[in-house]
Amino acid sequence: MHEMKSRNIAPTQRLRGEFTVPGDKSISHRAIMFASLAEGESRVFGLLRGEDCLSTLGAFRSLGIEVVEKSDNELIIHGRGLAGLQEPTDVIDCGNSGTTMRLMSGILAAQPFFSVLTGDQYLRKRPMGRVIDPLTSMGARFLGRNAHTQAPLAIDGGGLEPVEYHSPIASAQVKSAVLLAGMQVDGATTVYEPHLSRDHSERMLRYFGADLESFPGGARVNGRVQLTGREVEIPGDISSAAFFLVAGLIVPDAEILVKNVGVNPTRSGVIEILQQMGGSIELTNQRELSGESVADLLVKSSQLHGIEIGGELIPRAIDEFPVISVAAAFAEGVTTIRDARELRVKETDRIAAMCECLGALDVNIEPLEDGMRIVGGELLTGGEVNSYGDHRIAMSMAIAGLGAAAEIKISDTACTETSFPGFWELLTLVSGGQEI
């Protein structure tokens, strides 16, 4: 459990700096998982050392995988192949990480042994039925709280059949869980989804040698194809970069370069949204690393304006909406966010939380069932807000504080360690400010 910390953020007039942000969280989780399931040694560079990814690392150690921490930047993972995992002797603690629990459900459902997944008080409240339903249709056997939809989840693994699954939601976690189960059974498993969700699993599984094809509307994997250990370089996390993109746009005298950021098209919705709002964000030095698109992002202060956001942009920017709503508070006119009901089942109900936090700073913001409506362009007052233990809410409110009229006090800020260790130090550095 995190200790309750609070921090005060003072307004700033100037931002400068060239820096990298920690490794991409989604790609870090998958690098650990797929390297563990591959045959032989993998070297992973730039892994995010946040608590969520460390939960995934701990899970695979408890399944018999040897991991050597070569340096802060390099991990060596000794993979044991699809059939090499061992039955754990204790429950597996996924901490606060929904990605760990949902993807592990897919991996463990196909393994011929018993396992139990649990997590912290927040994760145990989150819905797991969305992955349990398709896995159950493959023959998986789960027991869990609340009619088998919440952790702790007991898994009696093995004996699965391939499936064609039509997912009602665009969710990379659902898609990945089904593909990871399908990868371990004979035959082809196909997942269809209403919009393209992030495709890190497909890219990296192909990089490790899986027989997997993506097509408009979904992905298909042929099972029992052995993965082979690889070198993986993990780019900076666009979800972490997003906080500094918005900071660079709303602070009056700002110019920052965020280097080596993953700009996978299924994740770069936040860049397009901020550019549509009038934000000056330039992609330079574009290249490819371990199957992922990477670029340096040059950001300058900009006059933002309100826009309508919905449809296919939503799954491509789902984690960035807390900080997008901060950008909207500084933009002239009205911003409407729709089709984002998914935000209600994140670490917190992020629609309710952002409406409460920004409302406390006198922003004209109202919740919608599937999003929010924000009238921007008025000065944000100072005040006190609570992150509700949600790392993205805490960091978004810190960015709001940089452009507010007076100091903002944010309570419960230790949660930022789950995805962005060093966030507060970096914020201090680029704002040239006092220790935050």
Catalytic residues: 319
Tokens of 131: 């992955």
Sheet with 14-20, side-by-side order of all strands: 14-20, 253-262, 292-300, 280-289
Q: Which two tokens stand for residue 257?
A: 């370069």
Cβ-contact 354, 365 below 8 angstroms = yes
Q: Give the position of tokens 């956001």.
A: 309
CA 294/CA 288 separation, integer angstroms: 6
Structure-derived torsion over alpha carbons of residues 271, 344, 26, 88, reported in degrees to the nearest 10: 180
DSSP 289: E
> For residues 51 and 56, what is the distance between their CA atoms, to the nearest angstrom?
9
- State which amino acid sits at residue 366: E
Q: Strand ranges (DSSP E) for 140-279?
A: 141-144, 150-156, 164-166, 188-192, 211-215, 218-222, 231-233, 253-262
